[in-house]
Structure 1
Amino acid sequence: MKLLNTEIKNKVLKSMLQILERERNAIIEANKKDLNAFEKEDQALYDRLIVNNKKVDEMIAAVEAVMLQDDPVGKEITNRTLKNNLNIVNTTAPFGTILIIYESRPDVTIEAAVLAFKANNKILLKGGKEALNSNLILEKCWHEALEDNGLSKDWIKLLHLKREETQEFLKNPTEPLDLIVPRGGERLINFVKTHATCAVLVSGRGNNFLYVSEHADWSKAVNVIINAKTDKISGCNALDKVLINKNLPQYEIKLKMLQEKLEQHKVEILVDNKVSHILPQKEMISNRDIWYEEFLALKLLIGEVESLDEAIDTINKYSGKHSASIITEDKAEAMNFMHNVDSAAVYHNASTRFTDGGQMGVGAELAISTDKLHHRGPLGLNQLVTNKYYVYGDGQVRV
């Protein structure tokens, strides 16, 4: 796809703002078809599927925010002139064609596309079948905005492929792909990494941990745990595991207090062997593999640790490397935790629910990357470019 100037890209986005507002009711009605066809056995997936007036407002806000951001393409990173008078300029450049695979969440059809397009990338959207009607009308809105401004619909395209066809497309793409972003479970991610013929940027699972130090302010700890667990169970930044230091003053009393508070919010509590001696009526885990699980439900596993080092080791072994938090009034301890926990975002005395592009000031996000190459954390507009060297000479040859 050719390099577009900022003005034409912003005109497309301005058109999209008007179209989304005009089609607001039609978008919500299309979404109702998806909701009515969905079996609610997976509450988290159902929650992600919902598009209401608030969600349309958020889509519009995402498009407007990206429209107002600086164009990330063509920015000078370095500029050097060598002794032989070669001028070497490193600049930001588009990836080319991005494929994103996701389920539920029709808002991804807006956020992923607006970011990719503003960064001058073509994007292929592979949404889940559960959101088909919602995604179709949103694709139609995009195509109208593009064509109204003299651009090809190919810039933003929904892949109408079944699961098996998607797998075949990954193995043998019918067009060049430069980057694939799988947003889904371990099975999808592993399949993409195995069969992709281009770069893969993983938007990994959550399975986020929180450690309560013996130096914690207990009131802060309880408030953060409740928020991180119950605010939005379908979020990849929701809390799944809590580790509590056994040396916390009034440890047993506080564990029982936490149990009572969680039960008020209808949270199912699982416990490890050590905590089960204090909360004997709670289900004790029988298989350590559960420490690897992302629950996406009102469920929380509470475990006991003896030290900061044990907490760090446990988190690094089992977590999804997404977000982790420590509750402590000891700043040196907090920094030790934050330096040594291997997660995209680490927190001191705060909820993991802030790992989000909008909350972190990035704006709309394509995904939360748990990879270490290129970028980690929210993938915003400035992260959807790569780099390119422009070398200016006057007949120089290497000797």
Structure 2
Amino acid sequence: MNTLLSIETRNNVLQTMAALLEINRAALISINKKDLNAYKGDDISMFDRLKVDDAKVDEMIAAATHLASQEDPVGVERFSFKHENGMQVYNKTASFGTILIIYESRPDVTVEAAGIAFKSGNKILLKGGKESLNLNLKIVELWHQALEKHNASFDWVEYLQFNRTETQAFLEKPTQKVDLIVPRGGEKLIAFVKEHATCPVIISGRGNNFVYVHTEADVDIAIAIIINGKSKISACNAVDKVLIAKNLPNKKEFINKLISKLREFKIQVMADEIVSKNYNLEQISSNEVWSEEFLDYKIVIGEISSSEAAIKMINNYSGGHSSVIITKNDAIAKIFMENVDNAAVYHNASTRFTDGGQLGLGGELAISTDKLHQRGPIGLQHLVTNKWYVHGNGQVRS
């Protein structure tokens, strides 16, 4: 286990990393072009996540800079207690130790995830996908330059250049201590990690997010939020399903306008039996489609009889990530938000805000759909465990 670096050293490394990303901006974009040209798959969402342009480099720099400015999440007192025998008891945050993150496609994770882990005193093992190998290796090289400049060991950020068989073997019998694993990617990757891992896994779950348009909805807000929800189809916070209240005033006009808007953005519109029949849309093949995360230019519209039915349907089919209610009725919104079993629930706002940076964390390691130990975006302050510090002067328990 690496000895915890001082907060000054950790911050200096992060600031140096931000500077190196700026200096190497053109090289990073050029290397990414090699990865993009080499990608032969047909997964449009993976290709979208793979791309790095000036805006994406800006995001990486901002992530490293912001992390350097944040308070140290290690050693924060959570609880204190003076025992009747005179012992002083403290509970403080502590680093996990070593975190393995397995991810597909996104080279920015190599900056943001490593930065969050490093700032919170953890060693990070990065296992990226082969589709982004060239850029990942370059970014890790920059991490090592930043660490070397401040006399810190390269061990803090390590890249595992493993194929699938080697990854499975490492998960089943790690050649070094691993305290936590975070898989970031599709359902197949998550299932693979859960099956083979021998230490705790935080599930960075699938999306399949819902918007419920209540009878008292502002329909202009509803359309804006649904369209925004499909603005980045590769994101886990994208909208895939829309439930429309059966008794929505001017329902026909609203649905026709929504379909027209979605088609403007080249989104394939499917529907349940009732809506498909009434609006001449492709009917979904089975109810199982309600469970699918699309990561594609697709959306399903359905009609729903009540708020209770909407809540039940979302809890049955959604990925546990994010859901929205569009309504002017605050009381109905409160019931919806309290009873929908998702990591993030919204009233008249887009699911696209389920993101560490947007929700005030400054960045995220992943977005967890697990309930232990953190739900939703996992930020700097969540990438710690805790330990007890007990000070005495010879106390023994009778």
Confirm whether residue 100 of structure 1 aligns to residue 101 of structure 2: yes
Structure 2 partner of 1:30: 31
- TM-score, normalization by structure 1: 0.98
Measured against aligned partners, the alpha-carbon deviations of 1:208-237 in whole angstroms (never above 9, x if no partner) come to 0010001111111111111111x2111110
The more displaced of 187-196 and 348-357 is: 187-196
What residue is the counterpart of 1:214 in the other structure? 215
Provide the rounded CA distance (Å) in 2 between the counterparts of 1:56 and 1:93: 31
| Residue aligning to 1:67 | 68
Partner of 1:382: 381
Indicate yes or no: 2:392 matched with 1:393: yes
Q: Which residue in 2 is equivalent to 1:369?
A: 368
Cα deviations across residues 364-392 of structure 1 (Å, max 9, x unaligned)?
A: 11011111111111111101111010011
Is 1:354 the equivalent of 2:368? no
Please give the residue correspondences for 1:104-115 in structure 2 after superposition, counting only pairs within 5 Å: 104-115=105-116
List aligned pairs for 1:78-89, cutoff 5 A. Answer: 78-89=79-90
Aligned mates of 2:147, 2:66 — CA distance in 1:
18
* Mapped partners of 2:32, 2:285: distance in 1: 41
Please list, as runs of the form range in 1=range in 2, the aligned pairs for 1:1-399 lying within 5 A after superposition: 1-39=2-40, 41-229=42-230, 231-280=231-280, 282-399=281-398
Post-superposition offset of 1:39: 2.6
Q: Distance in 2 between matches of 1:261 and 1:186?
A: 30
Query: How big is the shift at 1:396?
Result: 1.0
Task: Supply the distance in 1 between the matched residues of 2:81 and 2:201 (Cα, whole angstroms).
Answer: 31
Counterpart residue identity of residue 341, structure 2: D
Preserved CA contact (<8 Å) 1:179 1:200: yes
CA shift digits 1:328-377 (9 cap, x unpaired): 01000000000000000000001100001111111111011111111111
Q: Aligned AA for 1:291?
A: W
Q: How many residues align?
A: 397
Instruction: Determine the C-alpha separation between the residues in 2 that align with 1:245 and 1:17.
Output: 48
Q: Which amino acid aligns with 1:109?
A: T
The separation in 1 between residues aligned to 2:62 and 2:115, in whole angstroms, is: 11
Q: CA deviation at 1:63?
A: 0.2
How much does 1:40 deviate?
A: 5.7
Aligned-residue offset at 1:85: 1.1
Runs ≥4 in structure 1, deviation > 6 angstroms? Answer: none
- The amino acid that maps onto 1:165 is E
> Does the 8 A contact of 1:243 with 1:302 survive in 2?
yes
Structure 1 CA distance, aligned partners of 2:70 and 2:197?
A: 32
Instruction: Return the alpha-carbon distance in structure 2 between the equivalents of residues 121 and 226 of structure 1.
Output: 39
In 2, Cα distance between equivalents of 1:284 and 1:192 = 35
C-alpha distance in 2, partners of 1:335/1:157? 45
Q: Is the 8 A contact 1:252 1:278 kept in 2?
A: no
State the alpha-carbon separation in 2 of the partners of residues 11 and 129 from structure 1.
30
Q: Which runs of 5+ in 2 are unaligned?
A: none
CA distance in 2, matches of 1:252, 1:146: 60
**1:102 Cα offset (Å):** 0.5
Q: Deviations over 1:282-320 (max 9, x none)?
A: 110122111111111111001111000110011001101
What TM-score does the superposition give when structure 2 sets the normalisation length?
0.98
Pairwise CA distance, 1:41: 1.8
Measured in 2, the distance between the counterparts of 1:185 and 1:44 equals 10
Deviation at 1:194, TM superposition (A): 2.7
Alpha-carbon deviation of 1:253? Answer: 2.5
User: How far apart are the structure 1 equivalents of 2:153 and 2:271?
Assistant: 55
Is the 1:73–1:385 contact (alpha carbons within 8 Å) kept by the matching residues of 2? yes
Q: What is the aligned-residue identity percentage? A: 57
1:376 partner amino acid = R
Using the alignment, how far apart are the partners of 1:26 and 1:306 within structure 2? 55
**Partners in 2 of 1:257 and 1:24 — Cα distance?**
43
What RMSD, in angstroms, separates the aligned Cα atoms of the two structures?
1.0
Query: Does the residue aligned with 1:389 lie in a helix, a strand or coil?
Result: strand
Q: Which moved more, 1:286-295 or 1:206-215?
A: 286-295
